[in-house]
Amino acid sequence: MREADARLVVGNWKMNLTQAEARHLAAAVATALRAQSANAEVALCPAFPLLGVVREALRGTNVLLGAQDLFWEEHGAFTGKVSGAMLRDAGCEYCIVGHSECRGRFGRSSYDPQTLGFFSDTDETVRRKFAAALQAGLRPILCVGETAEERAQGMADEVVEAQVNGVLLGLREDASRCAVAYEPVWAIGTGDVCDPDEAERMAALIRDVLERRRLQSARVLYGGSVTPDNAPALFAKPGIQGALVGGASLKVEQFLNIVKAA
Ligand code: PGA
């Protein structure tokens, strides 16, 4: 099977778990997958301080390591930032870029609008991070998606297309190994999964943009409240080549059942 034919299932652990919990979860996932001989590609994206223990737990298995964000400079006086080269050195293959939570766009959030600026990614910083990830030899997983308000105003297609184009236009690096995750903001962490037909339609729209940029081999994923119950219907859509899984990736059984559905 060609790599592009295998579905990609990525666990986004967000800001969760201690080292002991992370080691345990990663080892449980990798061991079970070895027994399952799943033909989907699987990656886990823990928080930065957990990369070392998860790398150890995944050593010698088929499960790949990923990070949740990066900064675009290679090194220097950038307190609190982590570069693509550091992530490569830490064993990462993948890196999530432009997650809506990093853009200050939350589906159902307790944050008051005055603090949303702390989550500061814009289309421009996402573009820089995406290019830096490629330069470092990482495979970026670009997250795009509209808010509930944008959807209600009939702007979903326009917003998503602009987010993908904003990153790809003028890009000099070869992006053929990237993935793009359609993650409607209103579906993330809310339990309101996108209807599979609509997710497929949005995936096709992203696919069109990728093909115009000659990126046929890039995979289009869906993310937002993916569970073992809704995964089979999502994966029944040929245009959905994988999933970015948040909450359900923290529970061994649930994550494994999603991988099985893939
Ligand atoms: P969720 O998160 O599965 O918890 O909705 C998905 C994501 O944010 O990538």
Question: Whole-angstrom Cα distance, residue 6 to residue 134?
Answer: 21
Evaluate: CB of 244 within 6 angstroms of ligand 1.
yes
Count: domains in the chain:
1
- CB distance 22 to 256 below 8 Å: no
Asked which of 30-44, 67-81, 105-119, 145-159 is least confident by mean pLDDT, the reply is 105-119
Per-residue pLDDT, 37: 67
Per-residue pLDDT, 108: 77
Band of pLDDT at residue 71, cut at 50, 70 and 90 = very high
Q: Which of ligand 1's atoms lies nearest the C-alpha of 100?
A: 8
Catalytic residues: 99, 183
- Report residue 95 as tokens: 């890196």
CATH number of the domain bearing residue 17: 3.20.20.70
Question: Whole-angstrom Cα distance, residue 91 to residue 167?
Answer: 25
Per-residue pLDDT, 92: 98
Question: For residue 222, how far is its CA from the centre of ligand 1 (angstroms)?
Answer: 10
Nearest CA to ligand 1 atom 6: 246
Evaluate: CB of 225 within 6 angstroms of ligand 1.
yes
| 169: Cβ contacts below 8 Å, ≥ 6 apart | none
Band of pLDDT at residue 128, cut at 50, 70 and 90 = very high
Evaluate: CB of 84 within 6 angstroms of ligand 1.
no
Written as one letter, the residue type at 100 is: S
The sign of the CA dihedral 141, 215, 159, 162 is positive
The percentage of the chain sitting over the pLDDT mark of 70, rounded to a whole number, equals 97
Per-residue pLDDT, 25: 98
What mean pLDDT is predicted for residues 117-145?
95
- CB distance 134 to 91 below 8 Å: no
Per-residue pLDDT, 115: 81
Band of pLDDT at residue 1, cut at 50, 70 and 90 = very low
What mean pLDDT is predicted for residues 19-36?
95
Which stretches of the chain are DSSP H helices?
Answer: 19-36, 51-58, 84-89, 123-135, 148-152, 156-168, 196-212, 231-235, 252-261
Overall size of the chain counted in residues: 262
Written as one letter, the residue type at 160 is: V
Band of pLDDT at residue 106, cut at 50, 70 and 90 = confident
Asked which of 43-47, 105-109, 148-152, 175-179 is least confident by mean pLDDT, the reply is 105-109
Range of the domain at 41: 3-261
What mean pLDDT is predicted for residues 16-34?
97
Question: Whole-angstrom Cα distance, residue 117 to residue 173?
Answer: 29
Residue where the block lists tokens 């808010």: 147
Reported pTM: 0.96
Per-residue pLDDT, 4: 55
Question: For residue 122, how far is its CA from the centre of ligand 1 (angstroms)?
Answer: 20
Pick from 14, 138, 125: nearest CA to 68: 14
